[in-house]
């Protein structure tokens, strides 16, 4: 992990225990949330000898207590939800000044489940096609190498080449963050949606407030 950071890749916090977080985060209390975030930060600092500047919790599973934790940590940004543009989050009366940079593109599993024409051989073409729709802050794609597997990673290399040859190419999340005008960001409620995966609800950018 240190070698990844050493060559210039952006690093951030996922969760202390990703599986447990995915199962419990949406329904848990402030004490549990604070403890999990603290453990994650401490472990991150022990590995990298620096504090995390960003977070992207697993499974787009959040709660209002997490918003407080992210603001208190002074993170540059969080990427915890699905959506279409950068925003300041509001959830169950809790507001945060830590901006959300939401995942905008469908992930591999969703495309394979929801479209009979999509296969493991052509799924990268569908992801690329979705990325052609213009959004205010560009697109954000989420990939979990442990889940997607080696087969898709080979296709992902093709997808990277396609993106590099299109428009402004690729950017890290912190690079995208640096293009965002915080003074013009609107506040949006965070709700729950299972639009792309029926029965599996994920935190989603909702109405502006």
Given CATH 3.40.50.2300, say whether it is the number of domain 2-103+181-208.
Answer: no
Q: How far apart are CA 154 and CA 160, in angstroms?
A: 10
Q: Which residues pair with 100 in a beta bridge?
A: 78, 87
pLDDT band at 205 (very low <50, low <70, confident <90, very high): very high
- pLDDT per position as a tens digit, 50-93: 999 999 999 999 999 999 999 999 999 999 999 999 999 999 99
CA distances from 14 to 62, 64, 70, 176, 207 (A): 12, 17, 12, 19, 26
Q: What is the mean pLDDT of residues 167-193?
A: 93
Segment 107-115 long-range contacts (CB within 8 Å, at least 24 positions apart): 107/141, 107/142, 107/143, 108/143, 108/148, 108/152, 109/147, 109/197, 110/196, 110/197, 113/197, 114/196, 114/197
Domain(s) of CATH 3.20.20.370: residues in the chain:
2-103+181-208
pLDDT of residue 175: 94
According to the model, what pLDDT value does residue 21 have?
A: 97
Please tell me whether the overall predicted TM-score, pTM, comes out greater than 0.85 for this model: yes
């Amino acid at each position: 992990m240190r070698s990844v950071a050493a060559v210039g890749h952006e690093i951030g916090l996922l969760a202390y225990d990703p599986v447990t977080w995915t199962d419990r985060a949406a329904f848990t209390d402030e004490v549990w949330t604070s403890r999990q975030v603290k453990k994650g930060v401490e472990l991150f600092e022990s590995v990298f000898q620096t504090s995390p500047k960003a977070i992207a919790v697993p499974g787009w599973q959040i709660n209002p207590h997490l918003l407080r934790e992210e603001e208190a940590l002074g993170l540059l940004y969080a990427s915890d939800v699905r959506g279409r543009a950068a925003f300041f989050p509001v959830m169950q009366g809790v507001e945060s000044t830590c901006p959300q940079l939401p995942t905008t593109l469908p992930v591999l599993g969703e495309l394979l489940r929801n479209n009979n024409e999509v296969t493991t051989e052509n799924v990268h073409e569908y992801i690329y096609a979705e990325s052609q729709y213009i959004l205010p802050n560009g697109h954000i794609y989420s990939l979990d190498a442990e889940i997607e597997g080696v087969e898709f990673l080979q296709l992902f290399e093709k997808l990277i080449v396609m993106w590099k040859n299109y428009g402004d190419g690729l950017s890290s999340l912190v690079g995208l963050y640096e293009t965002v005008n915080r003074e013009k960001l609107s506040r949006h409620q965070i709700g729950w949606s299972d639009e792309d995966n029926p029965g599996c609800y994920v935190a989603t950018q909702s109405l502006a407030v």
